[in-house]
Structure formats: structure tokens, C-alpha cells
Amino acid sequence: MKRFFFKIASFLMALIVLFSTFTFTVAQHYCGGDLVDFSLFGKAETCGMEIQNASDSFEYSFEKKGCCEDEMISNTGQHDLKLTIDKLSFEQLLYVFPFAYSYLNLFLEQNGNTVPFNHYPSPFLVKDINILDQTFLI
């Protein structure tokens, strides 16, 4: 069960890294205020109602505003994912290293029962209290 959750968590983290570095552009073509076409990766197709420029150009010419409009929305992803320890401040290092050490030790398997006082000697018995108080188990 633990291995299953570990695989799901690692898959989700890989997807997060993938989508944070993913760059895409959405192109939209409006004609008369209505959305005619949109494209996720290429250029949106036009409706064919663009104004043709006249071949003979005069010095004073009035341009007619068209009814079509192109709109492009772009999202640039993160491209600098490599984090170096050189850029961390001293206060950040004081937090990161103990946190990483204690977090990694959470997942270590303990072999058998650990007795924390195993290396300490037992105290010396000065007097046998059971005989002094004359209390015996029957």
C-alpha cells in the first residue's frame, strides 16, 4: 500500500514539473466580435473578410478599419529549474538541511527493538530494599 501511494505521488510530481515548464500559445480570430476560430499551437484560420490594400497608394489615404481581429494569448513556462545551493542564504540553509535530514530518516526501517539505554550500566545496589522492608512475593 505504501509503495502504491509512493508511485502515485511521484507520478503527480512529474506531471507538475511537466506542466510548469510547458509553453503554449492560444491564437483566436474574432470577426465582428464573434469567435470564429481558435488554435492551441498554430495560427488561427481567418474568415476571409480581411481588407485588401489598394495597389495604387496616394499620399493622403484613409484606411478603413476592418471587422476582424486577431488575439494571441501566450503562457511561457519556467525554464530555469536547476536550483543551486550557492544561491541559498545562510538562514535558508539552516532550515533546509535539518528538515531534509529528519524527513529522510522518517522512512528508514528500524531493525528489531532498539533499547536506548542498552549502553549504560545499571546502578549499584547499596542495600537490598526487599529484605530491609521484609516484603516478599508469595
Residue 28: beta bridge partners?
Answer: 38, 71
Nearest to 95 by CA among 109, 85, 83, 105: 85
The sheet with strand 24-31 has its strands ordered as 34-39, 24-31, 68-75
Average pLDDT rounded to a whole number, residues 59-73: 72
- Residue 83: predicted pLDDT: 65
Q: What is the pLDDT of residue 110?
A: 72
Query: d(Cα 56, Cα 128) in Å, to the nearest integer?
Result: 122
The residue to which cell 508469595 is assigned = 138
Q: Are 38 and 29 in contact (CB under 8 A)?
A: yes
Residue 117 phi, psi dihedral angles, 5° rounding: -105, 20
Question: What are the tens digits of pLDDT across the range 5-64?
Answer: 999 999 999 998 888 888 888 899 888 888 888 888 778 888 777 655 555 555 555 566
pLDDT in tens, 77-100: 777 666 676 778 888 889 988 999
pLDDT of residue 51: 56
pTM: 0.40
CA 95/CA 106 separation, integer angstroms: 17
Looking at residue 41, what is its pLDDT?
76
Distance (Å, whole) CA 8 – CA 14: 10
| 116 or 71, which is more confident | 71
Determine which helix (DSSP H) or strand (DSSP E) holds 18, and give its type and residue range. helix 2-20
